[in-house]
Structures are given as structure tokens and as C-alpha cells.
Amino acid sequence: MPKLGPQAPQRTADASDESRGIAAVLDMPWRAVTEVRRRLALPFVRLFFWIHGVRWGNGWRILGTPIIQKHRGSRIQIGDRVIMRSWLTSNPLPPYHPVVLSTRTAHAQIMIGDDCGMTGVSIVASEKVEIGNSVMIGAHTIIADTDFHPLSSAERNLNPRSSEARAIVIEDNVFIGTNCIILKGVRIGAGSVIGAGSVVSSVIPARVVAAGNPARIIRNLANDSES
């Protein structure tokens, strides 16, 4: 027999979510326009991801076609219920450009977990960029595991595309503010917050607030029950 008991709370939750969604549309009509636009564009956006060899996940909300620069042989994997905002009108902090997903070598990987959100974010991998579950990335943030060009001027003149690359890992439940830069070799621990405009160039432990250029720990969230 089907187990009916556990399904009732789910129906209640779904009804509650729907009610909140309707209320939000009534309060902010621009969201209704964006949703209609998203639905009309959906077949073309899904085709775009398929052409680039990126599997479409469950529950995605893709507001505007991103830029995908996928090196042959590389891997871009995105989890479920991900939100990507690329349209100018998709966020009160409008993106300067679409979301960018770029792999620069055949062995590069971009791995994005479930329930993540981003607006006009650029993610560039020569080695690997791994983003966990429930990570929120603020508008215009750049996440790049490569220097793009050699630091030495002599080497730049000889081989301008040669550069150092080291993997980036962003663990679960991280919140990254707008206009941040996450540099190569960085690991951001679970539950941490990166303040707006920060440049992260070193490891950030779990459950802290870090901000500045370079980003430094300014608060510990380990005993903060509201974080």
C-alpha cells in the first residue's frame, strides 16, 4: 500500500510555497514579466545547454542564456534547482554580463552542486572549480583558478597563454557577496560568508565572515545560532 501519511505535509508545503509565490508576484509585478519571459525562452535555453554538452538539471531557473566556453574534453556538471541570472532585469543588482562558464583545458572541470544561485558570475577553470550545495554567489563575482597569463614579463612575451592554475573549492552553504574575486588555490569552508568587494587569495575556514583585499576573518560564526 502507498504510504499516504508523509505526503500530506508535502502538499501543505507546496500550497504554502505557491501562496508565497503568488503574493510575491502581486507585490512585485516585474517578477511576473520575468517569469513569462523565462518560460518563453526555456526551449531555446535548454537546446543551448544540450549543444554545449551540459546536462539539464531538475528545477533549474535560467534567466537569460549564459556564456558557455567549453574546451573539448572538459567537464561542466551542474546540480539541481540551480538559479542563474543573466538578464539585466532579472535582479535588483543587474548583471553587467551573462553568467560565464569557461573551461580552458581538456582536463578542466566546473562542478556546481544543488540549490545554488548566481547573478552575472564568471567561473573559469583550467584545473577545477568545485562549488558545493546551497552556495549563493553575488552579482559580478569572478571565480578563476588561473592567472590567465604568466607573472614574468619575459615569459608573457614568449608564451602569453602559459599560466599557473590551482583548483578552487567552495564548500556547502557559503554566501559570497557582490563584486568578489576568488583566486586560484582558494578553499572556502562550509557556512562561511565573504563580504562584498572582497578579494580572496588564501584559505578561509568554515563558519566565519571574511572581507577585504586581501580577505581576512572579521567574525566567527561557529557559535552564532542564526548563521
pLDDT digits (tens, 9 = 90+) for 50-65: 999 999 999 999 999 9
Stated pTM of the model: 0.83
41: in domain: no
35: in domain: no
What is the band of 1 on the pLDDT scale with cuts at 50, 70, 90? very low
The total number of structural domains that make up the chain: 1
10: in domain: no
34: in domain: no
Across the chain, where does the E strand assignment appear?
61-63, 67-70, 75-78, 83-85, 100-103, 109-112, 117-119, 122-125, 128-131, 136-137, 142-144, 168-170, 175-176, 181-182, 187-188, 193-194, 199-200, 208-211, 216-220
Residue 133: CATH number of its domain: 2.160.10.10
Give the whole-angstrom CA distance, residue 219 versus residue 37.
41
Active-site residue, 149 included: yes
Question: What range does the domain containing 78 cover?
Answer: 54-220
196: in domain: yes
The residue from 52, 71, 97, 149 that is catalytic is: 149
99: in domain: yes
pLDDT above 90: percentage of residues in the chain: 67
42: in domain: no
What is residue 29's three-state secondary structure? Answer: helix
198: in domain: yes
> Using one digit for the tens of pLDDT, what is the confidence trace for 82-114?
999 999 888 888 888 999 999 999 999 999 999
